[in-house]
Amino acid sequence: KRVGVLISGGGTNLQALLDHTNDPTKNSAAEIVLVISNKVDAKGLERARNFNVATKVISHKDFSSRVEFDRQVNKELRDAGVEIVCLAGFMRVLTGEFVRSWKGALINIHPALLPLFKGTHAHRQALDAGVRVTGCSVHFVEEEIDAGAIIVQEAVPIALDDTEETLQEKVLMREHVAYPKALEMLARGEIQLDDQGKIIWATPK
Ligand code: GRF
């Protein structure tokens, strides 16, 4: 399956997806064909270029509305023949129109065990709540932020001396395991989204 990845920054999750899909021993069903960033200085763009993957910068500032920006992103993805879209640290909220048009083929990673700690500052929220375990979730994207059926989760125990920074580091390591796993399941057709927004698992769980 042809995959497009949307980023805004560092792109370590993009790196994990590139490493996985380009590892011949993994025999991946996914191929990253396009990386789009809304920021010209996103480090992830360089990571894509290192793998000879096409990149595109589409600055949201060049558009008068979210709808117009999303339509341009959508056009680039469609023109590249993309079949699955991964959000990897993409810091723009996508319009309903965009989300609906990629239903069942649009996934995101969030640095918490959803449905807990949605939105930004997930690690601070986890520390404030005093939970002893947090983690990350790869999920199908719904119009509502950080909602949508969960595909893969990885857990991370919280140490008493963890800070937002140390926790972010630990969770990020697990994100790099979870995201390739989830993309692979989708690309192989092992999961599908039904009309109710629930996952149909092809293999028994
Ligand atoms: C990750 O923590 C991801 O869960 C969140 O944004 C961060 C992106 O990191 N949505 P990177 O750009 O992949 O390094």
What CATH number does the domain containing 75 carry? Answer: 3.40.50.170
Ligand 1 atom closest to the Cα of residue 175 is 4
Predicted pLDDT at 146: 86
Predicted pLDDT at 16: 98
Helices and strands, counts by H and E, the chain: 6, 9
User: What residues contact residue 43 under an 8 Å CB cut-off, 6+ apart?
Assistant: 9, 10, 11
Predicted pLDDT at 44: 97
Ligand 1 pocket mutation pick from 32, 125, 172, 179 by most atoms within 8 angstroms of CB? 172
Predicted pLDDT at 205: 53
Predicted pLDDT at 145: 86
Number of domains in the chain: 1
For residue 74, count other CB atoms closer than 10 A to its CB: 19
Low-confidence ranges of the chain (pLDDT < 50): none
For residue 18, what are the CA distances in angstroms to 106, 107, 157? 17, 16, 27
Distance CA 126, CA 168 (A): 11
ipTM exceeding 0.95, yes/no: yes
Predicted pLDDT at 204: 59
Centre of ligand 1 to C-alpha 24, Å, is 25
Centre of ligand 1 to C-alpha 175, Å, is 8
Domain containing residue 57: 2-201
Task: Map tokens 């993409």 to a residue.
Answer: 90
Does residue 91 contact residue 85 with C-beta atoms inside 8 Å? no
Ligand 1 pocket mutation pick from 6, 12, 13, 134 by most atoms within 8 angstroms of CB? 13
